């Protein structure tokens, strides 16, 4: 079935075509917001990373300078101790201890394990050396490890401090490649020189890592500017042994950040010299930055690995980029939504206003046109009527036929004009109901009687299913009559000749039900709701033969709804239709009790 509707470009289509544009604008706002947010987030992240680098570099520098200052201190000790040995040619262990006593090394320098002297002896000098030791009362002195060597560098004096059990006295450090390398380097450069990681012979606390700083010792007044001079005048070495763990964990701990873990490797042997307690935990943290740097300290190479925890900067600063990202995202979504809402709302209001204007113009035009048409059409009706009644003189049979056709067409014209007038009034809200008690039973019979001529012309049969007693509704009689007329006219029009039309009336709880049933062409289920639309005709096998404006059912539904009722259609194609109207029933008047 085809629906025939007047083609007016609806504002709905207009809104739809603009909706795409709104979405595009909102998406553009969202995308540009997202772009700005991501750019800001990236910059913030970079600046946080830079802050982390700055904090890290500051920490590393502080540590480096504190460490340098400490080693400088060891060097100063050594130079002083060397002075004592060279001034006093007959230094004894007691002199050595006494000299260092004022420093209160155990208390003030817990990282220093010992300060000592090792004599550099050629094989042929060893005998005289040992005799001197015995002469000084050092009768149990003995060089170890034993063996026949060209050079011996035994520990002669050793001031013992933290963790030192004194067992290194007599130990020939030159037999250990690590110590030997440092001693040779010290002679070659003439400078204090550091060993790599060593385990001290005198260590009493188990396995610990130490390093030894050696200072060459020359004979009194002997030149030692060149390598040859240094080799010729070399008496031995003063040395200082340092416990690496104590140095880092106790002495310079205040200069270390809890957020930086440190591992120190002897870069020449690969041995681990020290690892801070927090190193493993920090290395496993998410976002930790690890850096390693090679450094040469007093002739020995070390590799220091730093693990910087993200906590090196405040958590507030760390969270700034992510917070900015979330805030930015939410703001973008909010603004895109707002823009979309504002544009859509503006467009919707504009469309509604446009629709209103078009509707008002249409209503005015409709009202004006139908008013203007009605008067001349009515005048035509009067004159044709007068002619038919013989006021213009006697008419021939042909003239009567022609005038009767004209009269009928004029009737239809007036009917359509009247309907248009009602539509115009309805749309302008100018229909006021004057409700009163109406006997619907009587009204149905009266309408059927009015239409009896048309019913007869199409050979239809009309049946009534009406209650015996009057059934009252609270209705406007004029408009309810229009409703029944429209439904009955449609039933007559859309039922092939010889059909059955039934008018029924039923009393329900608070309502009355009027039902107009026919055995006509029926309406396809997919267009059943459209039949109530304004200016809508549904094509069927009879619609081309019968007249219609497409407003009858629209008017009917509007009037029913104005009464607070409802209308529905039940129909089957080819079998017939039933239009059912529910309307409010008039309240029963209570009998006044007699006084
Ligand atoms: P009109 O009859 O002037 O076309 P209406 O608004 O009264 O306009 O009806 C709208 C459409 O509903 C009609 O074109 C017709 O196709 C369909 N219709 C109305 N009543 C019936 C009926 N009793 N049986 C079949 N079709 C109907």
3-state secondary structure 403-462: HHHHHHHHHHHHHHHHHHHHHHHHHCCCCCCCCEEEEHHHHHHHHHHHCHHHHHHCCCEE
Q: Is the predicted pLDDT of residue 595 greater than 60, yes or no? A: no
Residue 482: cis peptide before it, omega within 30 degrees of 0 = no
Of 5-19, 136-150, 286-300, the range with the lowest mean pLDDT is 5-19
In angstroms, what is the span from residue 501 Cα to ligand 1's centroid? 15
pLDDT of residue 483: 96
Q: How confident is the model at residue 430 (pLDDT cuts 50, 70, 90)?
A: confident
Q: What pTM, to 2 d.p., does this model score?
A: 0.53
Decide if pLDDT at 14 tops 60: no
Lowest mean pLDDT among 40-44, 142-146, 546-550, 579-583: 546-550
List CB contacts of 52: < 8 A, sequence separation 6 or more.
Answer: 289, 308, 310, 312, 313
Q: Measuring CA to CA, which residue among 548, 492, 543 is closest to residue 520?
A: 492
Per-residue pLDDT band for 314 (boundaries 50, 70, 90) equals confident
How far apart CA 205 and CA 1 sit, in angstroms, is: 105
Confidence of residue 23 (pLDDT cuts 50, 70, 90): confident
Pocket-testing residue among 462, 537, 554, ligand 1, by greatest number of atoms within 8 A of Cβ: 537
For range 530-543, the mean pLDDT? 86
Contacts of 565 (CB under 8 A, 6+ apart): 511, 581, 582, 583, 584
For the residues 171-179, what does the mean pLDDT come to?
96
Q: What is the pLDDT of residue 284?
A: 92
- Is-contact 578 445, C-beta < 8 A? no
Cα-to-centroid distance, 426 and ligand 1 (Å): 20
How much is the average pLDDT of 559-580?
Answer: 96
CA nearest to 22, candidates 350, 509, 513: 350
pLDDT level of residue 594 (50, 70, 90 thresholds): very low
Taking a C-beta distance cutoff of 8 angstroms, is the pair 80, 96 a contact? no
512: tokens are 């009355």
Residue 362 confidence (pLDDT) above 60: yes
What is the 537 CA–ligand 1 centroid distance (Å)? 6
Residue nearest atom 25 in ligand 1 by C-alpha distance: 522
Q: Which residues have C-beta atoms less than 6 Å from ligand 1?
A: 490-491, 494, 518, 520-523, 531, 537-538, 540, 543, 548-554, 577
**For the residues 538-560, what does the mean pLDDT come to?**
86
Higher-confidence position of 143 and 83: 143
Q: Which atom of ligand 1 is nearest to the CA of 532?
A: 6
Say how many Å lie between the CA of residue 411 and the centre of ligand 1: 20
Judged against a pLDDT cut of 60, whether residue 16 lies above it is answered with no
Q: Does the pLDDT at position 500 exceed 90?
A: yes
pLDDT value of residue 9: 46
C-alpha 497/C-alpha 517 separation (Å) is 15
Q: Compute, in angstroms, the gap from residue 503 CA to the centroid of ligand 1.
A: 17
* Residue nearest atom 23 of ligand 1, based on CA coordinates: 491
> How far apart are alpha carbons 299 and 276 in whole angstroms?
24
Provide the mean pLDDT of the chain: 89
pLDDT greater than 50 at residue 355: yes
Q: What pLDDT band is residue 18 in, cutting at 50, 70 and 90?
A: low
- For residue 400, what is the enclosing H or E element? helix 397-427
Q: Is the pLDDT of residue 589 over 80?
A: no
Please state, in angstroms and rounded to a whole number, the distance separating the CA atoms of residues 170 and 144. 6
Q: What's the pLDDT at 137?
A: 86
- The predicted-structure confidence for 233-268, as pLDDT tens digits, reads as follows 999 999 999 999 999 988 878 777 888 899 999 999
Region 539-559: what's the mean pLDDT? Answer: 85
Calculate mean pLDDT across residues 499-506: 97
Cα 580 to ligand 1 centre (Å): 14
Neighbouring residues of 61: CB distance < 8 A, sequence distance ≥ 6 = none
The whole-number pLDDT of residue 592 equals 45
Which of 548, 570, 571, 579 is the pocket-test mutation for ligand 1 (most atoms within 8 Å of CB)?
Answer: 548
pLDDT at 244: 94
Look at 484 and 13; give whichever has higher pLDDT.
484
Q: Whose CA is nearest to atom 19 of ligand 1?
A: 490
Ligand 1 centre to CA of 487 (Å) is 9
* Cα(153)–Cα(151) distance, integer angstroms: 7
φ, ψ for residue 493, nearest 5 deg: -70, -45
Q: Taking a C-beta distance cutoff of 8 angstroms, is the pair 495, 521 a contact?
A: yes
């Amino acid at each position: 079935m085809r629906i025939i509707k007047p083609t007016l470009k609806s504002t709905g289509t207009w809104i739809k075509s603009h909706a795409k544009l709104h979405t595009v604008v909102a998406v553009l706002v969202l995308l540009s917001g997202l772009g700005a947010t991501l750019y800001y987030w990236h910059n913030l992240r970079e600046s946080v990373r830079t802050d982390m680098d700055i904090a890290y570099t500051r920490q590393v520098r502080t540590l480096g300078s504190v460490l340098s200052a400490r080693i400088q201190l060891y060097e100063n000790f050594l130079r002083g101790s060397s002075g004592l040995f060279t001034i006093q040619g007959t230094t004894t262990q007691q002199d050595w201890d006494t000299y260092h006593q004022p420093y209160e090394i155990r208390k003030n320098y817990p990282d220093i394990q010992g300060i000592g002297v090792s004599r550099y002896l050629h094989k042929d000098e060893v005998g005289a050396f040992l005799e001197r030791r015995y002469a000084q009362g050092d009768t149990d002195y003995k060089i170890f490890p034993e063996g026949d060597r060209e050079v011996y560098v035994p520990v002669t004096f050793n001031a013992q401090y933290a963790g030192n059990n004194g067992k290194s006295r007599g130990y020939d450090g030159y037999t250990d490649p690590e110590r030997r390398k440092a001693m040779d380097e010290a002679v070659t450069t003439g400078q204090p020189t550091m060993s790599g990681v060593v385990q001290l012979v005198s260590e009493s606390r188990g396995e610990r890592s130490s390093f030894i700083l050696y200072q060459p010792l020359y004979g009194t007044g002997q030149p030692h500017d060149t390598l040859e001079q240094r080799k010729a005048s070399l008496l031995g070495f003063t040395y200082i042994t340092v416990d690496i763990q104590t140095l880092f964990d106790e002495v310079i701990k205040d200069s270390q950040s809890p957020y930086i873990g440190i591992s120190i490797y002897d870069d020449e042997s690969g041995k681990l010299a020290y690892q801070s307690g927090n190193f493993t935990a920090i290395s496993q943290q998410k976002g930790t930055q690890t850096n390693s740097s090679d450094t040469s300290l007093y002739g020995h190479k070390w590799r220091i690995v730093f693990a910087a925890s993200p906590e090196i900067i405040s958590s507030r600063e760390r969270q700034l980029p992510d917070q900015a990202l979330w805030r930015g995202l939410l703001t973008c979504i909010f603004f895109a939504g707002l823009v979309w809402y504002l544009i859509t709302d503006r467009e919707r209001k504009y469309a509604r206003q446009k629709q209103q204007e078009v509707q008002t113009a249409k209503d005015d035009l409709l009202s004006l046109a139908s008013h203007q048409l009605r008067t001349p059409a009515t005048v035509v009706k009067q004159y044709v009527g007068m002619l038919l009644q013989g006021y213009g003189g006697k008419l021939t049979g042909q003239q009567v036929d022609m005038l009767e056709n004209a009269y009928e067409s004029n009737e239809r014209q007036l009917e359509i004009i009247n309907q248009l007038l009602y539509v115009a009034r309805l749309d302008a809200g100018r229909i006021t109901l004057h409700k009163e008690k109406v006997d619907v039973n009587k009204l149905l019979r009266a309408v059927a009687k009015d239409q009896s001529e048309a019913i007869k012309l199409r050979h239809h049969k009309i049946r009534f299913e009406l209650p015996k007693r009057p059934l009252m509704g609270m209705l406007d009689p004029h408009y309810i009559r229009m409703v029944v007329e429209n439904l009955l006219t449609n039933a007559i029009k859309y039922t092939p000749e010889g059909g059955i039309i039934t008018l029924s009336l039923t009393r329900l709880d608070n309502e009355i039900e009027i039902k107009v049933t026919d055995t006509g062409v029926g309406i396809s289920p997919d267009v059943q709701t459209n039949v109530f639309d304004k200016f809508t005709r549904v094509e069927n096998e009879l619609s081309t033969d019968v007249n219609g404006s497409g407003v009858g059912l629209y008017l009917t539904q509007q009037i029913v709804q104005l009464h607070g009722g409802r209308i529905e259609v039940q129909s089957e194609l080819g079998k017939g239709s039933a239009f059912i109207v529910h309307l409010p029933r008039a309240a029963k008047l209570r009998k006044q009790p007699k006084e």
